[in-house]
Amino acid sequence: MAAEKEVKPHEGHKPLVMDESKQEEPKKMVKPPRSFWRRNWTTLDKRVAYIILFVHLLCIFAPFQFNWSAFRVTVALIVITGLFGMTISYHRNLAHKSFQLPKWLEYSFAYCGVHCLQGDPLDWVSTHRCHHQFVDSEKDPHSPINGFWISHMMWLFDSYTLTNKVCPKYSSDLKKIERNMFVIFTKHGKPDNVGDLEKQRFYRFIHKTYMLHHLALAIILYSIGGVPFFIWGMCVRIVAVFHSTFMVNSVCHIWGKQPWRTGDLSRNNWLVGLTSFGEGWHNNHHAFSYSARLGLEWWQLDAGWYVIKFLQVIGLATNVKLPSPTHMQSLAMDHKPKDKLF
C-alpha cells in the first residue's frame, strides 16, 4: 500500500495548482456589471446558452416521464459522472494533482467527467487553475464579488471576458472555433496553464470531439429506455450535477464557516458538501488546494476522499497528498496546535 504524502507548507503552493496569490483582506460583494447584458453575445456564447437552456427546459417533462428504472439509472449516472468524473478526476486528480492513477484509470475517470456537460478536461482544468491563482479578485473567472449569479453560471455565457481572465496573452482563430460545433465550453484563446494535459493525445481528442460523446450517450439511453431514460438519465442528471458543482463557486464563497486563514471568501458549507460528494468543504480546499482529502474532520463527509482512500489501499492511487500538521497549524484561525488527522 502506498503511503500518504504529507505536504509541507511551501509545497502546497506550487505553480501547477496556482494557489500562491492570495489576498490578505476578504473582498466585498458588488453589484454585477451592467455591461454583461448589454454586450454583444458571440456565436459561442449563444450556443452554450441554448444548450443549457434546452437541457433545463426538458426537465419540466421529468414528472410525466418518471419510472423507477429511469430513476435508478439517473442516480447511478450521477455517481459515475459527478463523483468519479467531476470530483475525483477533473478536480482532485487533473486540476490539483492530489494523487496519481494508472493512465487507463485516469482516462476512464476523466471520460466520466466529460458527460457532466461542464466542458472538456482541458477547458475545465484551465479555468479552475486560474480561479485558484486569482481567487475572489477581478481576474477570478467566477467570483461572487461580481454577483451571485455571475459566479454560479452566468460567467459561462461571456467567452470574451473568460478568455481575458484565463488566457489573455494567447489568441486563436475565432472563426475556426465557432465553426466547430462539437467544441462547446471553450475560450477564444489558448490557455497556458494546462500544458501537462495538452501533451496527451486523449485530452486533445476529447477537446475536439466533446459534444459527440454527449450525443452518443443520449442515443444509448434512448435506445435502452426510451424518452424516460433520455429525460432522466441525460437532462435531470446533468442539471443536478451542474448546479451541485457550481454551488461550490457561488454558495461556498458566500455562506458558511472559515476555519482557515485563506484571505479569500471561501467557506465550508455542509449542505453543499453533501450534494457535491465532499466539495462543499471549500475553505479547507482553498487552504490546502493540493490535498486529496477535503473533509479534514471526521464528521466532514467526503465521498471523494473515501474512494481515493480505497484506491490507495488496493494500490491504484499513489502519491496521495495530505496537509502536514505544521501547515494546518500555520493557517488555523485559532492558531492552536491541531492533532494529526491522518
Mean pLDDT of 103-118: 97
Q: What is the DSSP letter of 41?
A: P
Split at pLDDT 50, 70, 90, the class of 126 is: very high
pLDDT at position 137 is 93
Q: Does 23 score more than 80 pLDDT?
A: no
Q: Which residues of 295-333 are buried (b: 16+ CB within 10 A; e: fewer)?
A: bbeeebbbbbbebbbebbeeeebeebbbbbeebbeebee
Mean pLDDT check: name the lowest of 91-100, 176-185, 216-225. Answer: 176-185
Paired strand residues for 318: 100
Q: Does 74 score more than 60 pLDDT?
A: yes
Instruction: Name the residue with higher pLDDT: 293 or 29.
Output: 293
Residues in contact with 226: Cβ distance below 8 Å, sequence separation at least 6, in sequence order = none
Residues in contact with 298: Cβ distance below 8 Å, sequence separation at least 6, in sequence order = 341
Helix (H, G, I), strand (E, B) or coil at 301: coil
pLDDT at position 53 is 95
pLDDT at position 41 is 84
Amino acid identity at 342: F
Share of the chain above pLDDT 70, in %: 80
CA distance 191 to 176: 17
Tell me how far CA of residue 24 lies from CA of 30, 82, 262, 263, in angstroms: 18, 33, 8, 4
pLDDT at position 86 is 98
Q: Does 147 score more than 70 pLDDT?
A: yes
pLDDT at position 166 is 84
Split at pLDDT 50, 70, 90, the class of 79 is: very high
pLDDT at position 176 is 59
CA distance 182 to 321: 35
pLDDT at position 13 is 45
CA distance 202 to 80: 19
CA distance 230 to 222: 5
Amino acid identity at 49: A
pLDDT digits (tens, 9 = 90+) for 31-67: 444 466 677 888 888 888 999 999 999 999 999 999 9
Give the chain's mean pLDDT: 86
pLDDT at position 160 is 82
Residue among 284, 277, 337, 281 nearest 306 (CA): 277
CA distance 9 to 12: 5
Mean pLDDT of 236-249: 97
pLDDT digits (tens, 9 = 90+) for 178-199: 556 566 656 666 788 999 999 9
CA dihedral sign of residues 178, 180, 185, 190: negative
CB 24 within 8 Å of CB 340: no
Split at pLDDT 50, 70, 90, the class of 80 is: very high
Instruction: Name the residue with higher pLDDT: 207 or 223.
Output: 223
Instruction: Name the residue with higher pLDDT: 23 or 48.
Output: 48
Q: Does 228 score more than 90 pLDDT?
A: yes
Q: Does 122 score more than 90 pLDDT?
A: yes
Q: Does 173 score more than 60 pLDDT?
A: no
The ranges assigned to domains in the chain are: 5-23+40-331
Cell of 258: 472559515
